[in-house]
Amino acid sequence: MNFIFGLIIVLINISLALFIAFSVYLILFIPKEKKYLFGKQVPFTPGYAYRLKEKLMKFLEEKYSGYLYDFKNVDDIKSDSIARKWKKAILDFYESKFSFNNYFKFIPKFFKEEADKIIHSFLSEFISQLFKDFIPYLIEKYKVHKYLDIVDMKADVTVLSGYFYKYYKYVLMFSSLIGLLVGVFNAILFLIFA
């Protein structure tokens, strides 16, 4: 009788492992679009892979438009843009590492201060022009937005689903093997302590 219970434990563990493997496929891919019940969205629809693709494309679109806006407003003092932070970091790096006051002790202080002001203003203007004009020009020239559309089109979840389904039998075999090993271990423990 105890031997039959041990076999039942093994079968339960194998079926539980197969159920988990099948649940992973269901959670990732099965609802392809949002489902509604009484006008409210059903939780966990669409599948996780589809939701992840939507979030990724939304994130890329926000970053693209945000960078264009940031680069146009690099000189705005009230702006907390990324381009302004980069500009400040570059200027701080120059002042800490390459300032005339740090290296040339024999040059009069008046000349060092004037040279630092000139280089600082040149560097500041160069960085501003780089961020305001050149980087947006490169973004438009190389049509970055077009590539975002191509990524959206090519990153099709059905392709990923096809690859997952192609190797799904190996996933099922692996999960049933794990279930078998855990089941045998549980059955041995059951037979020892029963």
Q: How confident is the model at residue 72 (pLDDT cuts 50, 70, 90)?
A: low
C-alpha torsion angle, residues 15, 16, 22, 25 (rounded to 10): -160
Q: Which residues are CB-contacts of 72 (< 8 A; sequence separation ≥ 6)?
A: 132, 136
Mean pLDDT of 52-81: 73
Distance from chain centroid for Cα 52: 10
What's the domain count of the chain? 1
| Model confidence at 90: pLDDT above 60 | yes
- Amino acid (one-letter) located at 50: Y
- Amino acid (one-letter) located at 40: K
Instruction: Confirm if 75 and 112 have CB atoms less than 8 A apart.
Output: no
Instruction: Please give the model's pTM, rounded to 2 decimal places.
Output: 0.56
Cα 136 from Cα 139, distance rounded (Å):
5
- Which among 65, 52, 27, 57 is positioned nearest to 151, based on CA atoms? 57
Instruction: Confirm if 28 and 47 have CB atoms less than 8 A apart.
Output: yes
Report pLDDT for 77: 57
Beta strand extents in 90-183 (DSSP E only): none
| Mean pLDDT over each residue of the chain, to the nearest integer | 81
Q: Which domain holds residue 163?
A: 2-193
From residue 154, give the alpha-carbon distance in Å to each of 48, 50, 51, 148, 158. 18, 13, 16, 10, 10
Q: What are phi and psi of 105, to 5 degrees?
A: -80, -30
Say which range, 5-14, 39-48, 96-105, 137-146, has the weakest mean pLDDT.
Answer: 96-105
- Which among 145, 194, 174, 165 is positioned nearest to 8, based on CA atoms? 194
